Chain A
Amino acid sequence: MNILILSLILALGIYALLCKDLLHSIIALSALSMLSALLFTMLRAPDVAITEAAVGAGVTTIIFVWAIRHTQRREEDS
């Protein structure tokens, strides 16, 4: 079961890096945070799960979306 979630996390991570549209990458990253929070609850680490969900997925996503709003959304295909 852990291996399934970990491979899903790896897939989301690689998608977040390769995707051209930064907003999709941010959504993939917050999904990754949510999945790792789920994994932490399964691994009997409730404190870290709440922190990862609230701090990792919540605040990081707000900051990334704000950064994207002030810069550009599509990555330059130079």
Chain B
Amino acid sequence: MKYINTAKQIIAILLVCLVVGVVIISEHSWPEGARDYLFAHAFEDTGATNTVSAIYLGYRAMDTLGETLVLLVAITGTMAILVNLGKDTIEEEAVHFCLPPEKRAKNALRTHLLEVVSSKLGPIVLLFGFYVMLYGHISPGGGFQGGVIVASSIVFLALGTETKSKLTNTVVLSRIEAIAFLALVLASISGVFFETGFFGNPIKPETDLSANFIILLNIIIGLKVGTSIATMCIAMMGGRHDL
């Protein structure tokens, strides 16, 4: 019985990799039509110098909306599965990262280094995250990358127990996430009322303000990604399971 199974697996791998191999290995020149058009028109269409964010927040903004939905559903699903994961065992509970020093078990291997570094490093990484988010349309970066860096800074703050800031409170985080998602949907619908259709840029392309729509989208997506990943990481690190 065992051989039939491995034989099946080998046949499956061979068949699929035959077809995929032909598509990957075959030699073909890369089309330059899209690149030339963007090189000429990207700036005055969307006002963004970084053509990649011009595409994924301007021309193909629908993909970014789909991507944010995938992130939202994945994190909601993970949280739903995490919540009824059941309580950890007692000694696991004691070693949790987020417990203040006096409540934690003595044998938890937590050097002082982590506390000093994390509470000092947190604000700097937060600042860098917002920089990457806000300058998305000029220098490389943008909504998602900025959001993840903001999320890692929030995790730093949650690790360090000296700074008890509201930022690491999961209720506040999920509120910001809900507002950001609502703002994203409203921003995408706003194009409809300015007759440029769904996900259109409500600001007229000619004016030099048209980059603001991309900045707005970057901020909203950055906040949403940052808060949702931070919420998940804090819940994973044994923070409050009260979601």
Contact = CB atoms under 8 A, between A and B. Distances in A.
Nearest to B139: A46
Interface in A28-67: 46-47, 49-51, 54-55, 58-59, 62-63, 66
A62 B236 contact: yes
Interface stretch (B99-107, B144-152, B190-198): B144-152
Interface string B197-237: 00000000000000000000000000000000100010011
Contact of B140 (A47, A58, A62): A47
A50 B146 CA distance: 9
Given A47-B53, A50-B132, A55 B236 contact: no
Contact of A58 (B52, B148, B236): B148
A66 B97 CA distance: 12
B148 A47 contact: no
Q: Is the contact region of chain B dominated by helix, strand, or loop, or is it mixed?
A: helix
Q: Is the contact region of chain A dominated by helix, strand, or loop, or is it mixed?
A: helix
Contact of A63 (B142, B149, B236): B236
Interface in B138-162: 140-142, 144-145, 148-149, 151-152, 155
Contacts of A46: 140
A50 B53 CA distance: 13
Contact of B144 (A49, A55, A70): A55
A54 B52 contact: no
Contact of B152 (A47, A49, A54, A70): A54
B50 interface: yes
A47 B236 contact: no
B132 A47 contact: no
Contacts of B141: 47, 50
13 contacts: A46-B140, A47-B52, A50-B132, A50-B141, A51-B145, A54-B145, A54-B148, A54-B149, A54-B152, A55-B144, A55-B145, A63-B236, A70-B85
Interface of B: 50, 52-53, 85, 132, 140-142, 144-145, 148-149, 151-152, 155, 229, 233, 236-237
